[in-house]
Amino acid sequence: MIRNKLQPNNANTTGQVPSLLQAGGCFLIVLIMISLGLFVFEVSVHAVIFLALLWVGTQAALLGYAFSDIRGMMNNGISKALPAIYIFMLIGMVIASFMQSGTIASLIYYGMGLLQPTVFLAAGLILCAFMSIATGSSWGTAGTAGVVLMGIGETIGIPLALVAGMVISGATFGDKLSPISDTTNLAAMSAGTDLYRHIHAMLYTTVPAFVIVLIIFILLGLEYSDNLLPKDNIDAIKIALAGAYELNLFITLLPLLLMFGLSIKRVSPEVSMSSSIVLAMIIAIFYQEKDSVSVVNALWLNTAGTTGIENIDILLGRGGIYSMAWTLLLSIMALALGGILHHAGFLSVLLEHIISRIKRISTLIATTIISGFVGNLAMGEAYISIILSCQLFKDSYQKRKLDNAVLSRSVEEGATLTAGLIPWTTTGAFYTATLGISTLEYAPYAFLNLLNPVLSIIMAVFGIGLLQHKIVCSASAK
């Protein structure tokens, strides 16, 4: 049996290493508790994770660890995420400030001009992608632009399942690559890699997948070139936005351009986000002529928009530090849970017996992606699946000298991309309720979510995009 290499500073070295039966049983009970809690008894996920913490902590105590040692394991798991806590808070403030400055309103206003019948699907895909990158939220994009696009698609006569698949593909693409996305930051944090390094790694597989999906939607859109466009609905939305905001494209997009520019120059996320927040606040106060106190308060909790269109007002009211509390608290609790599972040896033992037989890098990446999907099936939450998958596979990637960004990318492709394809996940349930189409209906048309993981595995087989620390992947290593 192996001894954990990453023990907390105050860890009890006399603690026993769990047997395979103990480790498997402990992990299986955690999965059962989460599954039953969420799907059968409909208990809050935070409460379920607390009960799982009690269970895992008790199992660690039975191995001989004192409470101080167990607390040290939890602290060790959380401490690695401390830099990301600042980013989580900044994400909420970026979103709120972009809403106040009219940045998001401008994206909607000018994006509507792209929606012609022939290119409706392709333009909608791009619009959702840009909105999701700007807001960092696939949910927010689906719940606003997605709802608008569903209404337009229905009027044009395009099958709603196809439109929903387009919305989800675009929203997922932007959410996956956005530096202010919670899952993007969570994956980078859990894998122990830099945020921009993580995004850089995802570009290898996500951009080619997006281009393929874009071509598919262009070809499918040609079938509806003779359909009529509901111009009145689009005009109503644009008039409402123009009445609520000054929509000078150059001025309102400056905060977004600043953040992207600083990101390209590899400026730290904290600095680039903070700079964008300050600029957006200045624009909101002096250009949009909003009350300065309201703008500052929006950084804590934003208020709904005033366009008079419910779905748009809900979108424009997103953001603020408070809006990130649910994700942040869940992440901290799941990291504590992962800390015990890892440092008490439960995950190490499973790793030794399950992953030790994996010889090829491509098999490791495929296993990681499948693990994320299975985690979503079992736990219904991509957040938990991301954290636990990173804990489970990190050592295997390091032993093969793969960059941690390859791990975070593979975990996102298994967890983030598949969450919306499963009816009982929170993401799948949200999409169904928001877009009015069942998961099983739109899933075959969510081409990016289906194609990206498969493309990633194929690229790994050929050794493409395998970022490494010291050595270049050879054909024999595949």
pLDDT band at 295 (very low <50, low <70, confident <90, very high): very high
Residues 326-336: pLDDT tens digits? 777 877 887 78
Cβ atoms of residues 418 and 450 within 8 Å: no
- 147-151, 221-225, 228-232: which has the highest mean pLDDT? 221-225
Q: What are the C-alpha distances in Å from 451 to residues 61, 163, 184, 383, 390?
A: 44, 17, 19, 21, 22
Cβ atoms of residues 383 and 334 within 8 Å: yes
pTM over 0.85: no
Q: Mean per-residue pLDDT for 344-365?
A: 82
- Residue 468 β-bridge partners: 402
Q: Mean per-residue pLDDT for 116-128?
A: 87
Residues 45-79: pLDDT tens digits? 889 889 999 999 999 999 999 999 999 999 987 87
Q: Please state at what angle helix 120-135 crosses helix 160-177, rounded to 10 degrees.
A: 30
Alpha carbons 194 and 235: distance in angstroms, whole number: 43
* Helix, coil or strand: residue 468: strand
List alpha helices for 80-159, DSSP H: 82-101, 103-111, 120-135, 138-141, 147-156
- Distant-in-sequence, close-in-space partners of 432: CB < 8 Å, separation ≥ 6: 423, 438, 439
Alpha carbons 303 and 96: distance in angstroms, whole number: 9
Q: What are the C-alpha distances in Å from 71 to residues 54, 77, 337, 343, 448?
A: 12, 10, 11, 11, 41
- Residue 402 β-bridge partners: 468
Cβ atoms of residues 473 and 400 within 8 Å: no
